[in-house]
Structure 1
Amino acid sequence: MRLHAITDNRHTLEELAASIISIKDIADFIHIRERSKTVHELSELIERLLAGGVDKRKLIINDRVDVALFHNIHRVQLPSHGFSVKCVRNRFPHLKIGKSVHSVEEAVQAEKEGADYVLFGHIFQTDSKKGLSERGTGSLKEIKKAVAIPVIAIGGITEHRLPEVKQANPDGIAVMSGIFSKDRPAEAAERLACLVKGDLYEKAL
């Protein structure tokens, strides 16, 4: 399983850059999901990260395909309301494309259009999706059976609920507030990584 850390759009550039740099050797992938920030701010953030030693291959740009292309970042995450996978794949075949999905039908469609993986959620109740019913691990299992591409689980996944998620055998988990809302993001990410990867991660430390 892979650990995906997703930024929460609640911090200044300085705070966010420091948090991401602190987890650069822990998380497998880091999604830049800052919907309220301008292109200039996103570009400045990316420059800070690269200067701080973050591996460009770990960065995934949410929605802003233009920003990814400008900085020669080859991974993008398309939201459910954004460009279709087919459209981006046809124009930029070199990109690694993830698609956010909320049902089996959407996951199957994303795979048909050429997505490299899908991000499925929300699995449990989460503050970022207040008022919306959780989809649960049963739906996660259905998605896993329906597509051959990797499935990343997202939504309300905590250290305590991770064992339940792992039983559905996702290819990875994505965590937002469980990392970036913590006072010590690196410590939170390390605990999650140990649970996700088990002995392999502990030996690497």
Structure 2
Amino acid sequence: MELHAVTNDSLPAEELIKQIIAIASEVDFIHIRERSKTASELVDLVKSLLLEGVPKEKLIINDRVDVALLTNIHRVHLPGHSFSPKELREKFPHLHAGVSVHSIEEGKAAEKNGAEYVIFGHVYDTTCKPGLQARGVQLVKELTSLLSIPVVAIGGVTPERVPELRHVNVKGIAVMSGIFTHHQPRKMAQAFSKQVKENPYEEAL
């Protein structure tokens, strides 16, 4: 399974850079999802991360295709209401794109429109989505069985819930506040990574 860390747009750039550097070796992908920052600030942020040795291949730019192009990052993640990945790759064939979805219908549409993977949520109750009912693991299972592209689960995921998600065939998990609001983000990233990298076949022996 993959571990995706998603920034939560709550930290100043300097602090965010420190946190990303701290967790970079523990996660597979880092989504830069900073909606309140300007394009210029995001470009500077990405350039700083690259200078600090964060692998380019691990960075995914959320929504801001312009920032990805300016910093030569090849992975973007699009909101469900954005343009289609198919249109994007017609103009920029080198870009890889995933899409956020919140229902079976949206998942099917994203696959049809050329998404290489979807992030589906929120799976469990989470403080990030107060008052909104969690979609539940059963719906994740249904989605993974219907789509031929990978599904990544997000929303209220804890290290203890990873085995349950593994059993419904998700490609990975995405964690936002579980890492970036913790006072020890690297420690939490390690806890998630340990569960994600567990070999289920070993457990069964």
**What TM-score comes out, normalization by structure 1 length?**
0.94
| Residue of structure 2 equivalent to 1:94 | 94
| Residue of structure 1 equivalent to 2:18 | 18
Alpha-carbon distance, 1:3 to partner: 0.2
| Residue 182 of structure 1 pairs with residue 182 of structure 2 | yes
Whole-Å Cα distance in 2 between the matches of residues 112 and 81 of structure 1? 15
| Residue of structure 2 equivalent to 1:83 | 83
| Residue 2 of structure 1 pairs with residue 23 of structure 2 | no
| CA deviation map 1:144-181 (0-9, x unaligned) | 01111111000000122222222212000000011111
Whole-Å Cα distance in 2 between the matches of residues 93 and 170 of structure 1? 26
| Structure 2 portions without partners, runs of 5+ | 201-205
| CA deviation map 1:86-120 (0-9, x unaligned) | 32122212211000011111111111121111111
Whole-Å Cα distance in 2 between the matches of residues 32 and 17 of structure 1? 11
Whole-Å Cα distance in 1 between the matches of residues 8 and 157 of structure 2? 14
- What residue identity is the alignment partner of 2:125? Q
| Residue of structure 2 equivalent to 1:68 | 68
Distance 1:45-1:26 versus aligned 2 partners, 3 A rule: same
| Residue of structure 1 equivalent to 2:203 | none
| Residue 142 of structure 1 pairs with residue 169 of structure 2 | no
Following TM superposition, the consecutive aligned residue runs of length 4 or more in structure 1 with deviations greater than 6 angstroms are: none
- What residue identity is the alignment partner of 2:77? Q
Superposed CA RMSD in Å reads 1.3
* Percent identity of equivalent pairs: 54
**What TM-score comes out, normalization by structure 2 length?**
0.94
Whole-Å Cα distance in 2 between the matches of residues 74 and 126 of structure 1? 30
Whole-Å Cα distance in 1 between the matches of residues 123 and 167 of structure 2? 13
Number of residue pairs the alignment of both structures matches: 200
- What residue identity is the alignment partner of 1:16? L
Whole-Å Cα distance in 2 between the matches of residues 177 and 127 of structure 1? 9
| Residue of structure 2 equivalent to 1:170 | 170
| CA deviation map 1:53-88 (0-9, x unaligned) | 100110000000010011110000001122222321
Secondary structure in structure 2 of the residue aligned to 1:100:
strand
- What residue identity is the alignment partner of 2:182? K
Assess if the C-alpha contact under 8 Å between 2:84 and 2:114 holds in 1: no
| Residue of structure 1 equivalent to 2:52 | 52
Secondary structure in structure 2 of the residue aligned to 1:22:
helix
Whole-Å Cα distance in 2 between the matches of residues 126 and 85 of structure 1? 28
Secondary structure in structure 2 of the residue aligned to 1:163:
helix
| Residue of structure 2 equivalent to 1:203 | none
